[in-house]
A and B are shown apart, each in its own frame.
Chain A
Amino acid sequence: MYSNAYKKLVSLPPLLWVGLFLLLPYALMLAHSFWAVRDGMLVRQPDLHNYVTLFSKPVYAAVLVRTMRIAAAVTLCSLLLGYPLAYYLSFHAGAPKELLYQLVIVPLWVSYLVRGYAWKTILGSEGVLNGFFEYLHLTHEPVAFLLYSPFAVVVMLTHIYTPFVFLPIYAALEHIPRTLVEASEDLGAGAAQTFLRVILPLSIPGLLAGATFAFVLSLGDFLAPLLVGGASSTMIANVVQSLFGAAYDRPLGSAISVGLVIITVSLLVLSERLEKRWRYQ
């Protein structure tokens, strides 16, 4: 048995960490969200005016809706790419499985920024894709919507978050006992029926976890809109960033952040509940 002193000693660093770098900032953020800035000075008089602003000015709701639509599109695209990939690797890849798995993981080691710039050179008007289209005589002038559009943001974020979606789905698929697949075939189900009736339902916890990753991470992203998005695809985190920076309205920025935290935590709780409901083993 460990002594009480020892237990206290080892739990101190994580407690300090959580306290200093998580709880304290959250508390500060929450406090700020009730304060105000007047004449360039922070006024510590709590009221709800920041929240009133958020709900009364349609621009914030519009940006939030756009952000959620982009996040939803990213989630959908990552699932459409990540699920088949995970399914193929887990059930049909055979011997090269390990290698392919590593290849899916490798992009995670490359800086987010580098990948963002890569998309800039691919999607830009002088970019790889437009050059290719012109070479094929498909187009005669650059396709403008490729870069600096919500489309570009979705492409870039999908590229970045697909491995995050792939991983939990792959883990869930790997956990499905292969005798269940054999049992299904034995009972008369072909590959499609086996997939729909056995494999898909048993992989739903992984699918939910992956979808939550993609959605929540996209929701808070501000680099993709900066790098490839342009003005037409400003997301909620960009608004927070400018409020904290140029606009010097930390209280309003904090109020938006509090809203984001509430949305994110609700999503996580919801996803957790759903995952539990679909978990049997």
Chain B
Amino acid sequence: MAANSLDPASAVLLEVRGVAKRFGTREVLRNISLTIAEGEFLTLLGESGSGKTTLLRLVAGFEEPTAGEIWMSGVRLDLLPPYQRRVNTVFQNYALFPHLSVRENVAYGLRVKKTAATEIDGRVDEALRMVKMQEFAASRPSKLSGGQQQRVALARALVNRPLLLLLDEPLSALDANLRKQMQSELKALQREMGITFLFVTHDQEEAMALSDRIALMRDGALEQVATAREIYAHPATAYTARFIGQTNLLRGEILDGMARCGAIEWPSDDPGGAAIFSLRPEAIRLASDAVALPGTARFRAALQQQFFSGASELLEVNCSGQLLRVRISARGPLSGEHEFVFSTADAVRVQE
């Protein structure tokens, strides 16, 4: 399975068709349509209250859609109770059964489905080995650290061989280092097992690091659905550009084949009128570092702040009253006025 591009030949696993969800008068989801391919790692990314967890709960079956349908492998999913869906969930707080040992927790799904005892043993062992928790098989969840509980929750879901695994902010309770480590383990696990992941997070870095595609949600609607690279390079809206990574939003207009944003201007053959451009900080360079190429724009700006962060540093510069962020590779303290350049192709026109 190709990791970063959506293979058009791969079959659609899940299809969300025009789904809406209302709690009382509060509209939580509006007309969501989304497909997930088999083996894909798709992330629902959004701020809290954007509806991403509600969408996940609709797929799991904990909530019913107010309108629309959800299909999985030719089966109408939204009409089935959760226990009849071949979908398993890794909950945000893990939701391990406190009265059962690690082994019994992992065996739970197989037990309730009356799987043969010998098969249960084998599959539970395999699942525990997969998440490196064999030695804790007899422990109670309360004796485990957050990361260990996380692993057990994963094993408990995966042992059932779901067609689709739902993960509700599974890493948000872990500290930064453990989080990075679990991210890489999750990714490896997903590749290895070829199970489709639907992952919910509010952390855009996590979404970019893990996902084949990101579905960015905003106020109960899908803002943009694309691969991480696509969404970063070509954000459709100003919201997306700001939410995914850092950016400079240049507001101005296009007139007579020239884009003008404050004191910065460059030739543009886009249709005229008011325009917003997203220009990533790393797309801007110091003119002294760059070779003059066609298709570049230049501007002079005064340095206001400089933040050193190891391999790179972030400059805040003032170009005739317009504040811009510039990320350059680390090069020592700077001051005064400098000339900056960027490739006009990197100034991406976005919707409001």
Contacts and interface: CB of A to CB of B under 8 A. Distances in A.
B83 A189 contact: yes
Interface in A179-198: 179-180, 182-190, 193, 197-198
23 contacts: A179-B91, A179-B95, A180-B97, A182-B60, A182-B62, A185-B82, A186-B82, A186-B88, A186-B157, A187-B83, A187-B109, A187-B156, A187-B157, A187-B160, A188-B83, A188-B113, A189-B83, A189-B108, A189-B112, A190-B81, A198-B97, A278-B99, A280-B140
Nearest to A196: B112
Contacts of B82: 182, 185-186
B93 interface: yes
A188 B98 contact: no
A173 B88 CA distance: 25
A154 to B, nearest CB: 33
Interface centre among A177, A189, A281 (most CB of B within 10 A): A189
Interface residues of B, number: 27
Contact of B108 (A177, A179, A184, A201): A184
A187 B108 contact: yes
B142 interface: yes
A278 B91 CA distance: 24
Contacts of B53: none
Contacts of B99: 198, 201-202, 278, 280
A188 to B, nearest CB: 5
Interface of B: 60-62, 81-84, 87-89, 91, 93, 95-99, 108-109, 111-113, 140, 142, 156-157, 160
B98 A183 contact: no
Contacts of A182: 60, 62, 82, 89, 91, 95
Given A179-B91, A182-B82, A202-B98, A187 B112 contact: yes
A188 B112 contact: yes
Listed from nearest, the 10 A-B pairs whose CB atoms lie closest are A280-B98, A187-B109, A183-B95, A179-B95, A189-B112, A185-B82, A186-B89, A188-B83, A201-B99, A185-B83
Contact of A180 (B61, B89, B95, B113): B95
Interface string A220-241: 0000000000000000000000
Contacts of A193: 112
A186 B158 CA distance: 12
Interface of A: 177, 179-180, 182-190, 193, 197-198, 201-202, 278, 280-281
A281 B99 CA distance: 9
Nearest to B88: A186
A79 B82 CA distance: 31
B142 A185 contact: no
Nearest to A186: B89
A183 B83 contact: no
Nearest to B87: A186
Contacts, number: 70
Contacts of B111: 197
Contacts of A184: 97, 108, 112
Contact of B142 (A189, A202, A281): A281
B83 A190 contact: yes
Given A179-B91, A186-B62, A280-B99, 17 more contacts: A177-B95, A180-B97, A182-B60, A182-B62, A182-B95, A183-B91, A183-B97, A184-B108, A185-B62, A185-B82, A187-B157, A188-B113, A189-B108, A197-B108, A197-B111, A280-B98, A281-B142
A201 B100 CA distance: 10
A178 to B, nearest CB: 9
A194 B60 CA distance: 16
Contacts of B83: 185-190
Nearest to A202: B99
Most chain B beta-carbon neighbours within 10 Å: one of A186, A190, A193: A186
A119 B261 CA distance: 88
B200 to A, nearest CB: 14
Contacts of A202: 98-99
B243 to A, nearest CB: 28
Contact of A281 (B60, B95, B98, B109): B98
A280 B156 contact: no
Contacts of B62: 182, 185-186
A281 to B, nearest CB: 5
A124 to B, nearest CB: 47
Contacts of B160: 187-188
Nearest to A201: B99
B88 A187 contact: yes
A190 B62 CA distance: 13
A201 B99 CA distance: 7
Q: Which of B81, B84, B95 has the most CB of A within 10 A?
A: B95
A266 B60 CA distance: 48
Contacts of B93: 177, 179
A105 to B, nearest CB: 29
A182 B113 CA distance: 16
Contacts of B60: 182, 186
B30 to A, nearest CB: 24
Q: Which of B82, B89, B109 has the most CB of A within 10 A?
A: B82
A207 to B, nearest CB: 13
